[in-house]
């Protein structure tokens, strides 16, 4: 904390509670500028102020803070991106995804000064990304653009160099054809019995994997044919985390197609009692079902239906088509 100092012809020297001296002055920009460090002796503080005044008179003055930044060298992308990530309030899975993008897709830019990231450099970097992974490519570009938008706001760079039209949106290399009703039934029949309701519910209701595997008995209202989607489960850094759905719109009530109600009711009857019991748990009956466990039975089932190209996520699109 600073104590009152004596006024001078140019600047002011104040004594702090520590006994050290702090020097400051009003610059040509009419802003108050403080020495980057304190002084033990008044003579040294006065000398610093005298140097500042000489640079003003000689018209060579720049703000002390700017000079200090220049001495520290340019801010590189990796350093700025790490700070950007720390300051953001992100869900664990989003944070892990951004970290992965920075470590892999954005790694070529890691040691590049922010001011050296130009539109041609961005175009070259983007051209090196794997075109067969359009979603990952668009996420990496979107993250770069967002970080550099913040850099513009922080006045680290004058303008955002990300100008590639459409680069922030994914275009699938191959359009997946939704499963037909017969194919969907074939997949369900090829699955173990306790997974059949999971497949059909995922397809007809459009729930995400993390939403459907977090469903509990209390979330299913069979008499009224309604699913209450209130939570989702994600996996990040080897941990299972239950939280709100992916977006605010994810908290919703979903109608259960009437033809699925008898099968779902029978599935619930076979479950152990308890309102908080998971509807589609792992083999131990308590843990969340892992994607890898499901894929071990889903892949052979889709092959039996002649649809080896169908991803689990594509079931959501299948449901949208069937419901139309």
Strand blocks (E) in the chain: 6-7, 12-15, 21-26, 32-34, 220-221, 226-229, 232-236, 239-243, 252-255
- The answer, yes or no, to whether residue 257 has pLDDT greater than 70, is yes
Mean pLDDT over 223-240 rounds to 86
Q: What pLDDT does 324 receive?
A: 59
Average pLDDT of every residue of the chain:
89
| Residues 227, 24: Cα–Cα separation, whole Å | 65
Cβ-count burial of 285 within 10 angstroms (0-12 exposed, 13-18 middle, 19+ buried)?
Answer: exposed
Mean pLDDT over 216-223 rounds to 94
pLDDT per residue as tens digits for the range 166-183 = 888 766 555 778 899 999
| Residues 168, 46: Cα–Cα separation, whole Å | 54
Q: What pLDDT does 176 receive?
A: 73
High-pLDDT (> 90) share of the chain, %: 65
Radius of gyration of the chain from Cα atoms? 30
Measure CA 277 to chain center.
30
Q: What pLDDT does 246 receive?
A: 63
pLDDT per residue as tens digits for the range 5-42 = 555 689 999 998 888 999 999 999 999 999 988 898 99
Among the listed ranges 69-83, 178-192, 271-285, which one has the minimum average pLDDT value? 69-83
- The answer, yes or no, to whether residue 244 has pLDDT greater than 60, is yes
CA angle (79, 83, 84) in 5-degree steps? 115
Are the CB atoms for 50 and 40 separated by under 8 Å? no
Mean pLDDT over 70-77 rounds to 80
Q: What pLDDT does 49 receive?
A: 96
Mean pLDDT over 188-211 rounds to 94
Mean pLDDT over 99-128 rounds to 96
High-pLDDT (> 70) share of the chain, %: 93
Mean pLDDT over 220-232 rounds to 93
> Residue 2 has what DSSP assignment?
B
| Residues 249, 314: Cα–Cα separation, whole Å | 20
- The answer, yes or no, to whether residue 136 has pLDDT greater than 80, is yes
- The answer, yes or no, to whether residue 141 has pLDDT greater than 60, is yes
- pLDDT band at residue 77, thresholds of 50, 70 and 90? very high
- pLDDT band at residue 2, thresholds of 50, 70 and 90? very low
| Residues 197, 192: Cα–Cα separation, whole Å | 10
Among the listed ranges 81-90, 163-172, 297-306, which one has the minimum average pLDDT value? 163-172
Among the listed ranges 10-14, 251-255, 314-318, which one has the minimum average pLDDT value? 314-318
- Beta bridge partners, 2, equal 16
Measure CA 305 to chain center.
36
- pLDDT band at residue 66, thresholds of 50, 70 and 90? confident
């Amino acid at each position: 904390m600073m104590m009152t100092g004596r006024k001078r012809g140019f600047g002011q020297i104040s004594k702090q509670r520590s006994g050290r001296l702090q020097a400051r002055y009003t610059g040509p920009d009419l802003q108050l500028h403080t020495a980057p460090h304190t002084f033990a002796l008044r003579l040294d503080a006065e000398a610093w102020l005298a140097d500042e005044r000489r640079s003003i008179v000689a018209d060579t003055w720049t703000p002390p803070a700017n000079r200090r930044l220049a001495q520290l060298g340019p801010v590189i992308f990796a350093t700025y991106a790490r700070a950007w990530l720390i300051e953001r309030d992100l869900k664990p899975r989003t944070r892990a995804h951004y970290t992965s993008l920075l470590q892999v897709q954005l790694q070529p830019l890691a040691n590049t000064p922010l001011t050296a990231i130009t539109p041609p450099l961005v175009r070259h970097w983007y051209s090196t990304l794997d075109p067969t992974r359009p979603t990952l490519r668009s996420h990496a570009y979107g993250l770069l653009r967002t970080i550099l938008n913040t850099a513009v706001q922080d006045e680290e760079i004058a303008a955002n160099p990300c100008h590639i039209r459409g680069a922030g949106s994914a275009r699938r290399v191959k359009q997946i054809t939704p499963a037909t009703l017969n194919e969907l039934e074939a997949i369900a029949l090829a699955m173990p019995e306790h997974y059949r309701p999971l497949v059909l519910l995922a397809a007809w209701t459009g729930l995400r994997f993390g939403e459907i595997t977090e469903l509990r008995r209390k979330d299913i209202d069979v008499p009224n044919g309604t699913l209450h989607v209130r939570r989702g489960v994600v996996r990040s850094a080897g941990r299972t985390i239950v939280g709100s759905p992916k977006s605010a719109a994810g908290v919703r009530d979903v109608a259960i197609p009437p033809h699925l109600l008898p099968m779902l009711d029978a599935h619930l009857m076979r479950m152990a009692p308890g309102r908080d019991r998971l509807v589609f748990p792992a083999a131990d009956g308590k843990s969340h079902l892992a994607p890898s466990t499901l894929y071990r039975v889903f892949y052979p089932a889709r092959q039996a239906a002649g649809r080896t190209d169908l991803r689990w996520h594509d079931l959501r699109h299948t449901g949208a088509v069937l419901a139309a």
